[in-house]
A and B are shown apart, each in its own frame.
Chain A
Amino acid sequence: MSGKTHTYAFFLGCIAPNRYPGIEAAAIKTSRNLGIELVPLKGASCCPAPGAFGSIDLNVWYAMAARNLVLAEQMNTDITLICNGCYKSIWEVNHKLKHHDELRDNVNEVLKEIDMEFKGTIDVRHLIEIYYDKKICGVDKLADSVTSPLNGVKVAVHYGCHLLKPRKEREFEAEGVGDTENPMWMEELVAALGAEPVQYRNKMQCCGAGGGVRGYDIAHALDITNEKLINMSEVGADAITEGCPFCQLQFDRGQIEIGEKFGVEWAIPVLHFNELLGLAQGMSPQDLALDLHGISCEPFLNKLQ
């Protein structure tokens, strides 16, 4: 654990800055307390959404993601991000273009039209994976940054799909991150904040929103979400945490939609890991714009000892 500052180009994505801005604010502030400086990536666009966009034309998905990567290459800075969907697009396209000459040439032919070239000079990491990486932060350093421990609450971790999968294609720098059947490293991070992480049935199941399904067949997507909510509530979760604003949207707005569509009432607060970390580092609910959440975070906040 050095005192060195690590600087990253911060790829914002869409849902965090445009629906849950508290996540963006918290990510910048909480990371700074950990010696990680996030510089928002100027001119970035949608990653673009791997399911919604990749389903239509993967070549456009490659080219659009490559444009975002080139912006960071021009800064000569590695990218970090706070959304699993963005992570799939930006990490995977970076990896594919680095390893497939034909793909890279095709993409560069298009990028030439806007005076850009993908060179493959930077890396991409999810911020939560960086937090777990002892070389940069690690669980102990994270715990040391806590000023208001989240004691007395049970938190269910939703890893989300694209943080870890497809595993066979991914490479992780932090040790102990690879398991996709029953990973426990995010639980370690939650415990470092003082909260009690709980285990629940079928933990690694999808939130239901991905692949364009939320837009295509909302009832289908919500039924998947509802199954996860049942499993989380069985073990008494006071809140859900994740590293993906799209999963957050699905769980947060989804609980309201489930009430409307299925007549099943839920009220489990949903907090991005950076929001949780923000609370643990002493940020107020106002600092995190928790009032923008569909499901009130009050019961969770009131339960904190």
Chain B
Amino acid sequence: MAKAKGYSDENLSVRLADRYYRTDDASPDFLKNIEKIGMTIAHMCYQCGTCTGSCPSAPRSSYRIRKFVRRAVLGLENDALTDPDLWLCTTCYSCTDRCPRDIAPTDIIMAMRNLAFKRKIVPRNFLNTVQFIYKTGHGVPNNDVNRAARVKLGLEAEPETTAKYPEFIPGIQKILDHYGLKDEADEILSEGQ
């Protein structure tokens, strides 16, 4: 990891070697992109570990939020975006709540997930939600058992949402299409795992 400086005095060059952890495949834009998408100051992290210590996913998996923040700072884009643990954050924001540097590690994860999606790395369940919303406006749509229960309660079978007013759905589809999200989801799902 340490990189010699190329000074003419070989001994000094080795002794004063740059000990910043830089690998050849580090992406200099990774941190910048994360800070822009996540709207947070990832570079302020001093690796105290309060985030991992607050994380409900840490005790039951190899997911370490501190490690992901380090990867952000060091530009280790491939490591971060291809790690399946990226999808184990429940977004509880306990780390964000307690971070002594006022960083939002949760939003770093969200930004990384956005960047992973651009590379078509995304679990299928996320794409299914997109398809449901495109079709019905709801991530969890109505069903017949529920309709009957609603009527018994004195409610209308369809709630006052896009369920009852499907004329609002084309507007939703326009928004999703603006970002090409539905096509992207369909394509990734059809490619399979």
Contacts of B167 in A (CB 8 A): 43
Do B93 and A14 touch across chains, with their CB atoms under 8 A apart? no
Chain A residue, CB-CB nearest to B127: A56
Q: A219-243, CB under 8 A of B: which get 1 and which 0? A: 0110110010000000000000000
Do B139 and A46 touch across chains, with their CB atoms under 8 A apart? yes
Given A19-B146, A215-B125, A223 contacting B60 (CB threshold 8 A):
yes
Q: Is B172 an interface residue (CB 8 A)?
A: yes
Contacts of A60 in B (CB 8 A): 175-176, 179, 181
Question: Residue A206 contacts which of B92, B102, B111, B153 (CB distance < 8 angstroms)?
Answer: B92
Q: Is B106 an interface residue (CB 8 A)?
A: yes
Do B97 and A58 touch across chains, with their CB atoms under 8 A apart? no
Q: Is B28 an interface residue (CB 8 A)?
A: no
Do A67 and B56 touch across chains, with their CB atoms under 8 A apart? no
Q: Is A41 an interface residue (CB 8 A)?
A: yes
B90 to nearest A CB, angstroms? Answer: 4
Task: State the interface size on chain A (CB cutoff 8 A).
Answer: 68
Do B162 and A43 touch across chains, with their CB atoms under 8 A apart? yes
Given A58-B37, A168-B96, A206-B56, A110 contacting B162 (CB threshold 8 A):
no
Given A63-B175, A114-B174, A166-B106, A17 contacting B89 (CB threshold 8 A):
no
Give A31-64 interface residues, CB cut-off 8 Å to B: 40-46, 48-60, 63-64
Q: Is B57 an interface residue (CB 8 A)?
A: yes
Contacts of B142 in A (CB 8 A): 17-18
Contacts of B88 in A (CB 8 A): 213, 216-217, 220
Do A46 and B159 touch across chains, with their CB atoms under 8 A apart? no
Question: Residue A45 contacts which of B114, B146, B172 (CB distance < 8 angstroms)?
Answer: B172
Interface stretch (choices A20-28, A120-128, A137-145, A296-304): A20-28
Contacts of B137 in A (CB 8 A): 45-46
Do B174 and A40 touch across chains, with their CB atoms under 8 A apart? no
Contacts of A53 in B (CB 8 A): 126, 129-130, 133, 139
Contacts of B87 in A (CB 8 A): 55, 211-213, 216-217
Do B146 and A18 touch across chains, with their CB atoms under 8 A apart? yes
Do A165 and B96 touch across chains, with their CB atoms under 8 A apart? yes
Contacts of B89 in A (CB 8 A): 211, 213
Q: Is B160 an interface residue (CB 8 A)?
A: yes
Give A96-118 interface residues, CB cut-off 8 Å to B: 96, 110-111, 113-114, 116
Give B125-162 interface residues, CB cut-off 8 Å to A: 125-130, 133, 137-143, 145-146, 149-150, 152-155, 159-162
Give complex CA distance A101, B138 in Å: 29
Do A113 and B123 touch across chains, with their CB atoms under 8 A apart? no
Given A12-B159, A45-B168, A220-B57, A292 contacting B149 (CB threshold 8 A):
yes
Q: A150-167, CB under 8 A of B: which get 1 and which 0? A: 000000000001100111
Given A60-B176, A223-B60, A18 contacting B162 (CB threshold 8 A):
no
Give A68-101 interface residues, CB cut-off 8 Å to B: 96
Do A52 and B162 touch across chains, with their CB atoms under 8 A apart? no
Chain B residue, CB-CB nearest to A66: B175
Q: Is B108 an interface residue (CB 8 A)?
A: no
Chain A residue, CB-CB nearest to B149: A289
Q: B5-37, CB under 8 A of A: which get 1 and which 0? A: 000000000000000000000000000000001
A161 to nearest B CB, angstroms? Answer: 4
Do A205 and B139 touch across chains, with their CB atoms under 8 A apart? no
Q: Is A208 an interface residue (CB 8 A)?
A: yes
Residue ranges of B at the interface with A (Cβ–Cβ < 8 Å):
37, 39, 56-57, 60-61, 87-94, 96-97, 102, 104, 106, 110-111, 113-114, 117, 122-123, 125-130, 133, 137-143, 145-146, 149-150, 152-155, 159-163, 165, 167-168, 171-172, 174-176, 178-179, 181
Residue ranges of A at the interface with B (Cβ–Cβ < 8 Å):
12, 14-15, 17-19, 21-22, 24-25, 40-46, 48-60, 63-64, 67, 96, 110-111, 113-114, 116, 161-162, 165-168, 180, 204-206, 208-213, 215-217, 220-221, 223-224, 227, 286-289, 292
A-B contact pairs, 16 of them (CB 8 A): A12-B159, A18-B141, A21-B153, A45-B133, A52-B129, A53-B133, A55-B110, A67-B175, A114-B171, A114-B174, A161-B94, A209-B90, A210-B91, A211-B89, A211-B90, A212-B125
